[in-house]
Amino acid sequence: MIFSLAIYGAPFSSQSSDTAYQFACALLEQGHSLHRVFFYHDGVYNGSTLATPPQDERNIPASWSQLAEQHGLDLVICVAAGLRRGMLDATESDRWEKPSHNLEQGFTLSGLGQLIEATMVSDRMITFGN
């Protein structure tokens, strides 16, 4: 079965991205496919490569990144919601003449159309609210 997930909670603030991550691992283990994980609202912070939790704690952005690499996942951060909250890749950083960028490997910035497309093509769209 084809799943997509929408995540609206900030990591380390709300449990929603932890739950979504465990859910993603479980569905992949069962052989389902994960079409896309779409990060919107405060969920965009899941893509910050600058997140620096203490070493004995889980690093949520790094966990997503590793999962994406293992399974070829499409981790999409809404570009409008992301830019507002300071989530920039190299291209956006150049465009807006910012001093740095902070998108974790495996994540991409893209439009809200990716949420709707995922809703259209997936058998199950699961929202993990904040």
Partner 1 sequence: MTEQQPDPKKILFLNRRAPYGSSLPREALDAVLMASAFGQEITLVFLEDGVFQLKKQQDPSNIEMKNFSKTFGALALYGVESVYVEQRSMEKRGLTLDQLLIPAKIIQSSELGALLEEQDQVLSF
Partner 2 sequence: MILHTVNRSPFGSDCLQSCLDIATIDSGVILIEDGVYCALANTELTELISTALTRHKIYVLSPDLQARGIADAVAEGIEAVDYAGFVELCTQFDKVVSWY
**25 tagged catalytic:** no
User: Rounded to an integer, what distance in angstroms lies between the CA atom of residue 20 and that of residue 13?
Assistant: 14
**Residue 6 makes contact with partner 1 by CB under 8 A:** yes
- The binder of 16, among partner 1, partner 2, none, by C-beta within 5 to 8 A per type, is partner 2
Q: Helical H runs in 1-59?
A: 16-29
Can you tell me which residue has the tokens 């893509």?
47
**Residue 113 makes contact with partner 1 by CB under 8 A:** yes
Task: State the catalytic residue, choosing from 78, 87, 115, 118.
Answer: 78
One character per residue 30-69, x = contact with partner 1 (rule: CB under 8 A): ----------xx----------------------------
User: Rounded to an integer, what distance in angstroms lies between the CA atom of residue 82 and that of residue 102?
Assistant: 11
Is the CA virtual torsion 125, 22, 12, 102 positive or negative? negative
Query: Pairing state of beta strands 33-39 and 75-78?
Result: parallel
- Strand (E) or helix (H) holding 109: strand 107-110
Cβ-based nearer residue to partner 2, 20 or 87: 20
- The binder of 55, among partner 2, partner 1, none, by C-beta within 5 to 8 A per type, is none
Chain contacts with partner 1 (rule: CB under 8 A):
6, 8, 40-41, 80-81, 111-113, 115-117, 119-122, 125, 127, 129-130
